[in-house]
Structure 1
């Protein structure tokens, strides 16, 4: 299993690097595809519950704005983000309510709420990944998301294995320890500072070390909450993994659960810095 996880992680990292540097259109398509698969996994996981029937077509349509964000800076489409967000929200609400009016025997208000939560949880949070990639120096800044998410996960795992004794939330994630959680936070802060040194030296990109430290603190905490939240949902619907698309890692949501939470944090810290 360890060998499978390592090989899968290496392949995934190579694909990530390729997608990141092929341009905004390719990146937008890739993120949209990830969002669609993530939505499918989320809605499919709820099939274990009785009388839950999310309006999947509405959810999948919510991925279209991600494609628009991906090509926005190419000049093909001229639309500002608040307008795009507002129009998308209105269409989703209207379509969802139309389904419970004209398909009232198949869908109800609970289904609409589950559908809306899935949209907010996956495509909306993933949209911040594209927004960061579209920033000046976005090809560098995008790595802050992966450091904040996967860096925290790696450091938490390492510290947990070395020093972990006290369980933190055994009813949700039995292997998580307090030492691992603390190690993940401080480890993320350290990795952020290393990132700052690298981009200053090789890309002439100056980011305040204070800002990077704050970002590491926030991401180290929020990343783990994202991970635990996904685990809580899986416990509730009684599944082990969201999918099997990534051998040894599970589904898209199993791998991107913390990224969903980290991306908006990175975006707004950078905007406010």
Structure 2
């Protein structure tokens, strides 16, 4: 427990520094996390005999980073508007699929449809979902909004853990995650709504909420409290299937990148689409 708490505090400090440092540093950080998470996922599925096309997944991380960081790069005098053209996006998707199918055509003795399927799944699951962190940071007042993602994930995880530890009696889904309880799940949702509401009060008090009323933050907290746990259970279900305990050991007491950021992958899109509907 002490190691878990210590590494959690160190990770939180690093996260604050990264977000505070600006869009470029955050973009590079998310890119690095995507690469590490892809490596963890591809290593995990190799346990059941899959052979993902790794370099396609890694290339997708670069493309997504550029796509989501266009405004930042433009401010530096680097214009990549051609990447935002929907034809360019469609062309990129087509070329990626073409390359993947060439593997099962010309290297059919080594690769099959399952291999390219897990390759594409990892891109959608990791790279695509991580990109929403950058998109939120690029919003007006994005520095403050991006914390909603981490509050949604970490508050849920923390309150669910202590609620389950103190009051947990009814198992939620023992086949996937034996320690999860109904009481812990409810505590995670309530705790996330409370912390999100308090953060909303802070933003409104300092005129940083762009006119978003307090009840929206509470609703967002409830949504993140639910979706965050789905992200956690999803990662657990995959681990059960491939028969591993953790995806990695990059953070002592927390496991790998996917073990620590599995909830964030799901809360980021929720925060982005909720805020987008309110602000634009």
Same fold (TM over 0.5): yes
User: What SS does structure 2 have at the residue aligned with 1:174?
Assistant: strand
2:2 matched to which residue of 1? 3
Q: Which runs of 5+ in 1 are unaligned?
A: none
> Aligned ranges for residues 205-220 of structure 1 at < 5 Å?
205=209, 206-220=211-225
Shift of 1:203: 4.8
> Aligned ranges for residues 70-219 of structure 1 at < 5 Å?
71-74=69-72, 75=74, 76=78, 77-78=80-81, 79-80=83-84, 82=86, 85-205=89-209, 206-219=211-224
Shift of 1:81: 7.4
User: Take 1:254 and 1:71, find their aligned partners in 2: how far apart are those partners?
Assistant: 26
Q: Quick one: which of 52, 56, 59 aligns to 1:58?
A: 56
User: Take 2:220 and 2:90, find their aligned partners in 1: how far apart are those partners?
Assistant: 29
Q: Which runs of 5+ in 2 are unaligned?
A: none
Q: Quick one: which of 255, 268, 271 aligns to 2:273?
A: 268
Shift of 1:48: 1.3
- The Cα RMSD (Å) is 1.5
1:47 matched to which residue of 2? 46
User: Take 1:260 and 1:187, find their aligned partners in 2: how far apart are those partners?
Assistant: 19
1:17 matched to which residue of 2? 16
Shift of 1:100: 1.5
TM-score (structure 1 length as normaliser): 0.95
CA spacing shift, 1:95–1:19, aligned 2, 3 Å: same
Shift of 1:172: 0.7
Runs of 4+ with >4 A deviation? 81-85
CA spacing shift, 1:87–1:247, aligned 2, 3 Å: farther
CA spacing shift, 1:203–1:209, aligned 2, 3 Å: closer
**1:69/1:130 contact within 8 Å kept:** no
Shift of 1:66: 3.0
TM-score (structure 2 length as normaliser): 0.92
Shift of 1:104: 1.7
2:261 matched to which residue of 1? 256
